[in-house]
A and B are shown apart, each in its own frame.
Chain A
Amino acid sequence: MSDRRTLTRRAFLIGSAAVAGGVAFGAFFVAGRGRNPLLDGLSPGEAAITPFVKITPGDITLIVPRADVGQGIMSTQAHLIAEELDVDPHAVKLDPGQPHPTYVNAKIAANSLPFHPLDNGLVPRTLRELMVSVARLSGAQFTGGSSSVSDLHERLRYAGAVARETLKMAAAYRFGVDTDRLRTEDGTVVLPGGERVPYTALAGDAAAIDPVEAVALRPPARWRRLGKPFQRTDIVPKSTGRQGYGIDLRLPGMLHATVRSNPGRGGGVARFDDKAALAMPGVRAVVSVEDGLAVVADNTWRAFKAADTLEVDWHPPDYPASSDAMWAALEAAHTEDHRDSRLRDDGDVEAVLAQADIVEAEFRAPHLAHAALEPLNATVLVETDVVTVWTSTQIPDFVRDTAAELTGVDRVIVNVVPGGGSFGRRLDRDYVVQAIQIAMTVPGTPVKTTWQREADMSQDYPRPMHLARARGAVANGRVVACDLDAISASLADDWFGRVFVVPPGPDTLIVWGAYDQPYEIPNYRVTGYRAPPMVPIGSWRSPGACANSFFHEGFLAELIHAAGADPLEERLRLIKDPVSRGVLEAVGEMAGWDGPDIGPRRGRGIAFAHSHHVPVAEVLDVTLTDRGIRIDEVWIAGDCGTVFDPVNAEAQLTGAAIWGLGHAMNCELTYADHTPQQRNFHQFEGMRLAQTPRFHTRLLQRAPEVAGLGEPATSPAAPALADAIFAATGQRLREMPFHHQVDFA
């Protein structure tokens, strides 16, 4: 605690700046990253008490800078502030704010370093701290990597506490009472006689005093909201059709557009004929955009219909044209020349494997689309001195900078709107680039650009295809050696290169979910191979781990079977980390684990993954029915440390597992002539209601550090299902999607 108090005090000493029309408190906990961005918008009598709390005579606004794409983080952020501020999160305004270095995500960069997450030695610790500092300097405001809660929970609670104590101080001055005789409740300061003074009535007073520097966070035992079931702030509009998404935006005089882009990404347009499109009702123009064409019309459907009539010849891009050719490229990259990392190298794998009967296997994971249900869209208004963007994005500062670069207009307003899903897709900005280019052709007129589903699926930056080759050995009923090679194109080359800069050093994402597992196998090696760039790839829910966990756990299951050991007991023998052991023990207890055999025509599987700093274990039962394999039940145990938002946490666990299962069973993107062969949901089903099993979840809250839950339950789902199918059928599934090899009911 003493470190924290010191840091808080230091942070506040750079706060408190007088500005025209008011006072804003506290650059607050930003370690020198500029001033409170809320100061610029203040009117007389308004207070911006920290960059997260703005109070005017009319209302209270909480700034919730992480983007909500369905994971519920808007509501969680609001509740974190509200716990200390003593306001009803449903009774205040919530605003994502404008992108600003104050809202930097410092955690996400540190998490990509090539160290085992449980390694807290001097070098990893020092470098993680260094990366946090570097991230602060870059000011990048990512939402992703299940990092929002771990990055923000203290900052947001401090923001609420500082605002509360400052408002109490303002009341103390006005009413001549000591602050320790004041308390706060439901957006008011309560005077000793019981009179309630609304925060809004204290805004002007609060703006005129110095901030309260020393605040202590309430201990969890005193929380009134956090850790207890509470209602999501967006649940009523999302249950009544009132929630506005980007695709729903309507502005006076707005035009509607859609795009036809090269399915071979980056190839560009060779030749086109737009005569038919231009003759269609409501069509205003056909314009060129990055990698394609756009139709501008007076109605979305008219734009869609006209875009379908465009005759376009595309230049082919310079990467392999088919999935077969891409698999061949991965196989060809399994050489020393392409070796990228060996971040796990325990014992002497080569010596053990030279003398043992070797277990060998090859695993494959296909390209996958994100396919959020809300197709990508952005609305842009380009004016002489300001550009305004409305879109759902996980990278608002990059969107802002891109808009400024493209238009040459310095002032950019980015209105981040709730997203109808993302799963990592909105970590890219291609759809916003095109929308800006379209809007630049009609300055002064807002244009909403909406992608058709077929564009959304064929113009994705998909999850990379991923290949693994593994060798191992067992002795005396134990797993004694595991040597796993993972081969894929590099997300660091692609995504980081597109959005930011390619980081130096190995691409840890190629081996995430494999090298970083807490197993202590005596001879244990994980090697990453960086294949050349192919179709440009992107970050997909649980990147790296979503494939590597299937490889690693799938192969471990084969070794355990070869050893004749029990899958749960052998994992517990191989893992010493108490938090990871805790989730395995819990899931075994929940499911009544007694081995994989649960009766005729049935099977039970288990898998474990440590991703995004969260260990998760899943047990899964299947039954062979006349119509195919049915998943009956899934038990999930995880440990993300303190749970702030338990209702949503449960939803993230089950949702992530359904995501992992549905894609493992049913989905792939395959390429021919550079074009994805899956264009809509009938070819990319994911999971539907009838295939959905029953879930049982538990979060242990023993982990010392808080972590996020958007992704971690994804990775163990596919290997748990494969393991259960093996238990039921004796068939090993080493390639996703499984529906090529087995039928599902």
Chain B
Amino acid sequence: MKLTVNGSDHDVSVEPDMPLLWVLRDELGLTGPKYGCGLGICGACTVHIGGAAMRSCQIPASAVWGAVVTIETETPDPVMASLQQAWIELQVAQCGYCQSGQIMQAADLLNRNPVPSEAEVDASLNGNLCRCGTYPRIREAVQLAATRLRDAS
């Protein structure tokens, strides 16, 4: 089956029910999306498909309907780049394992809603579990990135 990931086309021959997460990780070597729960409830595997945040552990590879973008993309869009910069400046990560998913989910939010309220940030990212408890800085970083993107536009 054919997949477009981070702008590159791939032809992978795997079972149709293999989740996208494991095609990315074990077949294509893209390990930014993480395995955390396998049920779509921790958000560590979040990638963009056709521009929207999706749990790659829940999407069979054969059902992928659009271009896939992962945290590793060499050409992050301005929203993702701004989020990563904010994540670095505010030193959000502790163990860091959930942060790829947090950033991909936050990028989806800011793409749809450039001026999110605190409650909208909470609702959007509530499905992304962080066991280290980096949430206060996640909130700050999303708002910092949003502010900068508004100032730049």
Contact of A299 among B27, B34, B71, B135 (CB under 8 A): B27
Asked if A70 and B128 make an inter-chain contact with CB atoms under 8 angstroms apart, the answer reads no
* Separation of A82 and B121 alpha carbons in the complex (Å): 38
Asked if B38 and A373 make an inter-chain contact with CB atoms under 8 angstroms apart, the answer reads no
Residue among A232, A301, A688 having the largest count of chain B Cβ atoms under 10 Å: A301
Chain B residues lying within 8 Å of A706, measured Cβ to Cβ, are: none
Asked if A689 and B139 make an inter-chain contact with CB atoms under 8 angstroms apart, the answer reads yes
Asked if A690 and B34 make an inter-chain contact with CB atoms under 8 angstroms apart, the answer reads no
Within 8 A of B (CB), among A222-254: 231-232, 234-245, 247-248, 250
Asked if B131 and A241 make an inter-chain contact with CB atoms under 8 angstroms apart, the answer reads no
Asked if B129 and A686 make an inter-chain contact with CB atoms under 8 angstroms apart, the answer reads yes
Chain A residues lying within 8 Å of B14, measured Cβ to Cβ, are: 299
Asked if B133 and A690 make an inter-chain contact with CB atoms under 8 angstroms apart, the answer reads no
Asked if A247 and B37 make an inter-chain contact with CB atoms under 8 angstroms apart, the answer reads no
For A304, the closest partner residue in chain B by CB is B38
Chain B residues lying within 8 Å of A694, measured Cβ to Cβ, are: 136
Chain B residues lying within 8 Å of A248, measured Cβ to Cβ, are: 25, 31
Contact of A239 among B44, B93, B95 (CB under 8 A): B93
Question: Smallest distance from the beta carbon of A225 to chain B beta carbons, Å?
Answer: 15
For A237, the closest partner residue in chain B by CB is B96
Chain B residues lying within 8 Å of A681, measured Cβ to Cβ, are: 36-37, 39, 41-42, 129
Question: Smallest distance from the beta carbon of A600 to chain B beta carbons, Å?
Answer: 23
A670 within 8 A of B: no
B130 within 8 A of A: yes
Chain B residues lying within 8 Å of A647, measured Cβ to Cβ, are: 91
Task: Please judge, given known A-B contacts A242-B72, A420-B34, A680-B37, whether A373 and B135 are in contact too, CB under 8 Å.
Answer: no
Asked if B91 and A231 make an inter-chain contact with CB atoms under 8 angstroms apart, the answer reads yes
Asked if A373 and B92 make an inter-chain contact with CB atoms under 8 angstroms apart, the answer reads no
Asked if A686 and B126 make an inter-chain contact with CB atoms under 8 angstroms apart, the answer reads no
Stretch at the interface among A136-144, A488-496, A569-577, A654-662: A654-662
Asked if B38 and A372 make an inter-chain contact with CB atoms under 8 angstroms apart, the answer reads no
Residue among B15, B84, B98 having the largest count of chain A Cβ atoms under 10 Å: B15
Asked if A651 and B134 make an inter-chain contact with CB atoms under 8 angstroms apart, the answer reads yes
Chain B residues lying within 8 Å of A70, measured Cβ to Cβ, are: 94-97, 132
Asked if B94 and A373 make an inter-chain contact with CB atoms under 8 angstroms apart, the answer reads no
B138 within 8 A of A: yes
Chain B residues lying within 8 Å of A256, measured Cβ to Cβ, are: 26
Asked if A371 and B91 make an inter-chain contact with CB atoms under 8 angstroms apart, the answer reads no
Chain B residues lying within 8 Å of A682, measured Cβ to Cβ, are: 39, 41
Asked if A689 and B125 make an inter-chain contact with CB atoms under 8 angstroms apart, the answer reads yes
Asked if B131 and A421 make an inter-chain contact with CB atoms under 8 angstroms apart, the answer reads yes
Asked if B91 and A235 make an inter-chain contact with CB atoms under 8 angstroms apart, the answer reads yes
B115 within 8 A of A: no
Asked if B91 and A247 make an inter-chain contact with CB atoms under 8 angstroms apart, the answer reads no
* Separation of A647 and B42 alpha carbons in the complex (Å): 26
Question: Smallest distance from the beta carbon of A744 to chain B beta carbons, Å?
Answer: 13
A160 within 8 A of B: no
Asked if A658 and B135 make an inter-chain contact with CB atoms under 8 angstroms apart, the answer reads yes
Chain A residues lying within 8 Å of B143, measured Cβ to Cβ, are: none
Asked if A373 and B36 make an inter-chain contact with CB atoms under 8 angstroms apart, the answer reads yes
Task: Please judge, given known A-B contacts A300-B22, A420-B96, whether A695 and B136 are in contact too, CB under 8 Å.
Answer: yes
Chain B residues lying within 8 Å of A244, measured Cβ to Cβ, are: 31
Asked if A686 and B131 make an inter-chain contact with CB atoms under 8 angstroms apart, the answer reads yes
* Separation of A681 and B33 alpha carbons in the complex (Å): 18
Asked if A300 and B129 make an inter-chain contact with CB atoms under 8 angstroms apart, the answer reads no
Contact of A689 among B31, B37, B41, B138 (CB under 8 A): B138
Residue among B19, B70, B72, B100 having the largest count of chain A Cβ atoms under 10 Å: B100
Asked if B131 and A373 make an inter-chain contact with CB atoms under 8 angstroms apart, the answer reads yes
Asked if B135 and A692 make an inter-chain contact with CB atoms under 8 angstroms apart, the answer reads yes
* Separation of A545 and B139 alpha carbons in the complex (Å): 30
For A687, the closest partner residue in chain B by CB is B133
* Separation of A657 and B98 alpha carbons in the complex (Å): 19
B152 within 8 A of A: no
Task: Please judge, given known A-B contacts A236-B88, A239-B84, A453-B37, whether A300 and B96 are in contact too, CB under 8 Å.
Answer: no
* Separation of A420 and B134 alpha carbons in the complex (Å): 13
B64 within 8 A of A: no
Task: Please judge, given known A-B contacts A689-B128, A692-B135, whether A373 and B84 are in contact too, CB under 8 Å.
Answer: no
Asked if B93 and A234 make an inter-chain contact with CB atoms under 8 angstroms apart, the answer reads yes
Question: Smallest distance from the beta carbon of B144 to chain A beta carbons, Å?
Answer: 13
Task: Please judge, given known A-B contacts A421-B97, A655-B132, whether A375 and B70 are in contact too, CB under 8 Å.
Answer: no
Q: List 14 A-B contacts (CB under 8 A).
A: A69-B95, A232-B91, A235-B91, A239-B84, A239-B92, A241-B100, A304-B38, A373-B95, A373-B129, A419-B95, A659-B132, A681-B37, A681-B39, A689-B128
User: A residues near B, CB below 8 A?
Assistant: 69-72, 231-232, 234-245, 247-248, 250, 256, 281, 299-302, 304, 371-375, 418-421, 423, 450, 452-453, 647-648, 651, 654-659, 662, 680-682, 685-690, 692, 694-695
Cβ-closest 3 pairs across A and B: A70-B95, A241-B32, A658-B133
User: B residues near A, CB below 8 A?
Assistant: 14-15, 18-19, 21-22, 25-27, 29, 31-39, 41-42, 44, 70-72, 84, 87-88, 91-100, 103, 121-123, 125-139
